[in-house]
Amino acid sequence: MKKHGLHELYAKDPVKADEQVFQRTSNALTRRGFIKGLKSLSLLLGAEVVYGQFMPAGLIPAAFAQSNTPFSIEGKDGLTILNDRPINAETPAHLLDDAVTPASRFFVRNNGIPPQKPDASTWTLTIEGESAEQSKTFTLEELKTQFKHYSYQLTLECGGNGRAEFSPAATGNQWTTGAVGCPKWTGVRLKDVLTSVGVKDSAVYIGYYGDDQHLSRTPGKAAISRGVPINKAMEDESLIAWAMNDEPLPLMNGYPLRLVFGGWPASTSGKWLKKIVVRDRVHDGAKMLGKAYRLPCKPVAPGAKVADEDMCIIEAMPIKSLITFPQSGTDHPLAKKLSVRGHAWSGEGKVAEVYTSIDFGQTWQIAELTLPVNRHAWQQFTTKIAFPQQGYFEIWAKAVDENGKAQPMVLPGWNPKGYLNNACHRIAVRVV
Ligand SMILES: Nc1nc2c(c(=O)[nH]1)N[C@H]1C(S)=C(S)[C@@H](COP(=O)(O)O)O[C@H]1N2
Ligand SMILES: [Mo]
């Protein structure tokens, strides 16, 4: 059989290649089906699946399961567009290799129609609500001159990152692994601004309103208006930010002003920020109620119908990691160890350990792991992997948080909207 790099086969036009492979082999494997024989699978991969006996039945090899289709949108480099109305785009794993995510590689998740490039010089932010002592409006300039500036590297991940893997499938953007990033954000502390306005003892939550429009363009109807409990709002790292990596925010990421709550579903980090309400109850804005950004309070069977009152608001994001080097589909010479690296993060505290496996989780080797530069920043892991022979391998990464919670190898608890898939990330490598 002709020897092609996995890349040639699957990455040039991976979507097409994917389809062709699936068409050609529909009797050997289907996307959510099962693998009939390791022999036919090895033929497709152009290499023996060395630890094939350990490969979970029904698993689609990483060589086929992930696509790296590059596509460009303004100011963004290599992001995959999932949807154009509203615009949603994620970053292929290998383009998230930087410790500090460049603005050009930071994902875009819009629920509505973003504003046209706003005029930062006339931009205002109003603080009000039942539990604010007063209603007060700041210009951007006043925010910048009246409050101390802080910079933190904060991980933002969409609650629906990984949704594509859920079965039965959940509706919504079919994010794979790329709705996450960790740039450096600069702004003022939300708590400094709230304190200067005055927060009543009755405060339990804050909610945000942005300058984007609902898809229906109904005046006054918010596309999204979420928030966080007052104790998260009062954390040192909770920012009202105007800069990403020392530059003004990209328009699609909230220019000129947004909230940033590291480690929580990024849906809480309101973009194009115009108003913050200090609430005496859990904020009830758009996408706070029903099933939006909520999980069943108790685990349910896949496909179960869950009543709205049995759904609970998602708070901190779970432990997770991403392999960012090498790119999935790499050919690697047997004689050399392969350097592997990536990031690990957890909304609930530090990541304690990261492990990698090349035998579908039979054995794990511990990776080196950096400390976070600050709370809610992702951490970098590196490891060198030796392979026992030529063939097809998958590298899986698994992070463990400081409470001992580890990523599951396969999908965690099914939920109606497909949130919080923190299953191990894996890449395909052919050792030649
Ligand atoms: N005003 C406004 N804020 C918003 C959104 C939005 O559609 N409008 N989307 C939210 C969601 S669901 C996510 S995941 C993050 C995405 O931030 P990003 O587009 O900068 O990556 O913004 C959040 N803040
Ligand atoms: Mo999101």
What atom in ligand 1 is closest to the CA of residue 265? 14
Asked whether residue 237 is domain-assigned, the answer is: yes
Residue minimizing CA distance to atom 21 of ligand 1: 108
Task: Say how far residue 400 (Cα) sits from the centre of its chain.
Answer: 17
- Domain limits for position 261: 108-160+179-313
What atom in ligand 1 is closest to the CA of residue 181? 21
Residues 96, 425 contacting (CB under 8 angstroms): no
pLDDT at 30: 42
Q: How far is CA 277 from CA 131, 273, 421, in A?
A: 8, 11, 31
Which helix H or strand E contains 203, and what residues bound it?
none
Q: Which residue from 240, 237, 253, 420 is spatially nearest to 346, judged by alpha carbons?
A: 420
Asked whether residue 35 is domain-assigned, the answer is: no
Ligand 2 center to residue 292 CA distance, Å?
A: 10
Asked whether residue 223 is domain-assigned, the answer is: yes
pTM above 0.85, yes or no: yes
Asked whether residue 355 is domain-assigned, the answer is: no
Strand, helix or coil for residue 60: coil
Residues 225, 273 contacting (CB under 8 angstroms): no
pLDDT at 62: 79
User: Into how many domains does the chain fold?
Assistant: 1
Q: Which residue from 36, 229, 241 is spatially nearest to 149, judged by alpha carbons?
A: 241
274: which 2 tokens?
Answer: 């115009």
Q: Which residues of 90-100 are buried (b: 16+ CB within 10 A; e: fewer)?
A: bbbbbbbbeee
Ligand 2 center to residue 159 CA distance, Å?
A: 5
Which residues, other chains included, contact 282 with Cβ-Cβ below 8 Å and sequence gap of 6+?
Answer: 204, 205, 229, 288, 313
Residue minimizing CA distance to atom 13 of ligand 1: 267
Residues 227, 206 contacting (CB under 8 angstroms): yes
Ligand 2 center to residue 47 CA distance, Å?
A: 38
Residues of the chain with pLDDT under 50: 1-35, 70-71
Q: How far is CA 309 from CA 118, 287, 290, in A?
A: 39, 15, 8
For residue 302, whether the previous peptide bond is cis, meaning omega lies within 30 degrees of 0, is no
pLDDT at 66: 54
Write the DSSP symbol of residue 165: G
Ligand 1 center to residue 383 CA distance, Å?
A: 34
Per-residue pLDDT tens for 161-172?
Answer: 999 999 899 988
Q: Which ligand is nearest to the CA of 269?
A: 1
Asked whether residue 167 is domain-assigned, the answer is: no
Asked whether residue 283 is domain-assigned, the answer is: yes
According to DSSP, the residues that pair with 229 across neighbouring strands are 205
402: which 2 tokens?
Answer: 């400081």
Asked whether residue 94 is domain-assigned, the answer is: no
What atom in ligand 1 is closest to the CA of residue 108? 19
Write the DSSP symbol of residue 230: H
pLDDT at 56: 81
Residue minimizing CA distance to atom 5 of ligand 1: 110
Asked whether residue 82 is domain-assigned, the answer is: no
Euclidean distance between CA atoms 275 and 293, whole angstroms: 21
Q: Which ligand is nearest to the CA of 225?
A: 1
Q: How far is CA 430 from CA 4, 60, 134, 238, in A?
A: 11, 16, 63, 43
What atom in ligand 1 is closest to the CA of residue 259? 24
Euclidean distance between CA atoms 87 and 157, whole angstroms: 17
Return the CATH number at 238. Answer: 3.90.420.10
Q: Which ligand is nearest to the CA of 224?
A: 1
Best residue for ligand 1 mutational test, from 214, 267, 277, 419 (most atoms within 8 Å of Cβ):
267
